[in-house]
Copies of this chain bind each other. A is one copy, B any other.
C-alpha cells in the first residue's frame, strides 16, 4: 500500500443556466492539488496550504478537506491518520466549486491510500459533508461532477440520486473568473422563494432540452436550451459587466453563456477548442471594457473527474 498520494480535483460549473441546483459539469482546469501522507498516529494534520492567501482554516475540524476525510474515516471505522498538503490552484469564492474540489480531492485521495475500500460514487456523501461546512448546506451540484467527471444531474436530494449525463466530445467550456468578490450566501439570499408558474414551465422545458441536446449530441438544441429565466435575471445584477460578457460570448459563436454556480465566474459552451478560445478572449475583452480584470480557463468538459498525479512521492 502506498504511503502517500498526490491527487488533482477539478473546478466545476454548477447550474449550467437552466439547471439551478440540479446540474453541473467538470473542467480540466483550474483545480486543487492535494498531497496526502499516512502518518504513524491517528488524526488529521494540515501541514500546509498554498494559494489561498491565508484565507482557509488550518484547523482540521474547520477545513473542508479534513472534514470530508474525517467523515469518510468515521464511516469506515478507521482510526488512521493523514498529513495534508493542499495547493489551491483556483480562486476561492468564485462560483467554480472551490470547496467542492477540495472535498473531492480529500476523499478521493484518502480512499486510494486506504486501498480503495469504497467505489468512487460511494464517496459522494462524505465530500458533500465537507462542502456543507463551507456552504452551510449539503449541495451536490459541484461535488458530484468534481467526483464523477462530465455532466452530472442531481435528480433528487432525498433520497440522493445522481446520474451522469453523456455529453459530446467536442463540447468545450470557456470559464471566466472576474477579479471581484461575491459571497455565495448573498447570491442565494437574493433569490425569490416563489417562481411564477410560467417561468417554472419555461425552465423545465429548457432543462429537458439541454439534457436531450447533451445526450443526443444536438449542439443547436444545447444552445437554444441554455436560457435561465429564474435565477440569472436576479443574480446577474450582482455581476458587473455580465450582459456585456454574455453578448460578447454569443457574438463570438458560443452556443450559450451563463453564470457559473452562484458567480461571479461566468462560462460559455462552444463546439471545439478553437471557438471556445475565441469566445473566452471575447469575454475577457468585454470585461476589460468595464475595467475588471479576469482569469480565463478554456478546456473540454472533463469526463474523468479527479486524477492521481503521483503516488508514493516524498512530500
Of the candidate stretches A82-90, A119-127, A200-208, the one touching chain B is A200-208
Q: Which residues of B have CB within 8 Å of A153?
A: 205, 208-209, 212
Is there contact, CB below 8 Å, between B215 and A156? no
Is there contact, CB below 8 Å, between B224 and A156? yes
Docked complex Cα distance between A167 and B200 (Å): 25
Of the candidate stretches A27-35, A69-77, A189-197, A244-252, the one touching chain B is A189-197
Q: Which residues of B have CB within 8 Å of A191?
A: 197
Kindly supply a per-residue 1/0 record for chain A positions 192-230, scoring 1 wherever the CB is within 8 Å of any chain B CB and 0 otherwise.
Answer: 111111001111111111111001100001001100001
Is there contact, CB below 8 Å, between A22 and B195? no
Q: Which residues of B have CB within 8 Å of A215?
A: 212, 215-216
Copies in the complex: 2
Q: Which residues of B have CB within 8 Å of A230?
A: 197, 200
Is there contact, CB below 8 Å, between B202 and A193? no
Q: Tell me the minimal C-beta distance from A161 to chain B in angstroms.
A: 6
Is there contact, CB below 8 Å, between A155 and B197? no
Which of B19, B156, B166, B225 sits near A155, CB closer than 8 Å? B225
Is there contact, CB below 8 Å, between B208 and A197? no
Closest Cβ neighbor of A216 among chain B residues: B215
Tell me whether A208 and B155 are in contact in the complex, defined as CB-CB below 8 angstroms, given that A197-B193, A215-B216, A216-B166 are known contacts.
yes
Kindly supply a per-residue 1/0 record for chain A positions 158-185, scoring 1 wherever the CB is within 8 Å of any chain B CB and 0 otherwise.
Answer: 0001010110000000000000000000
Instruction: Please give the number of chain A residues whose Cβ is less than 8 angstroms from any Cβ of chain B in the complex.
Output: 40
Q: Which residues of B have CB within 8 Å of A297?
A: none
Closest Cβ neighbor of A215 among chain B residues: B215
Tell me whether A161 and B22 are in contact in the complex, defined as CB-CB below 8 angstroms, given that A153-B212, A191-B197, A203-B204 are known contacts.
no
Docked complex Cα distance between A208 and B20 (Å): 12
A21 within 8 A of B: yes
Docked complex Cα distance between A14 and B19 (Å): 23
Is there contact, CB below 8 Å, between A221 and B19? no
Q: Tell me the minimal C-beta distance from A311 to chain B in angstroms.
A: 34
Closest Cβ neighbor of A21 among chain B residues: B201
Q: Which 4 A-B pairs have the closest CB atoms?
A: A155-B209, A194-B194, A204-B204, A22-B205
Extra inter-chain contacts (20) besides given A194-B195, A211-B211, CB under 8 Å: A18-B204, A19-B208, A22-B201, A22-B204, A22-B205, A23-B208, A153-B205, A153-B209, A155-B206, A161-B209, A194-B196, A194-B197, A200-B200, A200-B203, A200-B204, A200-B230, A203-B204, A208-B208, A212-B215, A215-B215
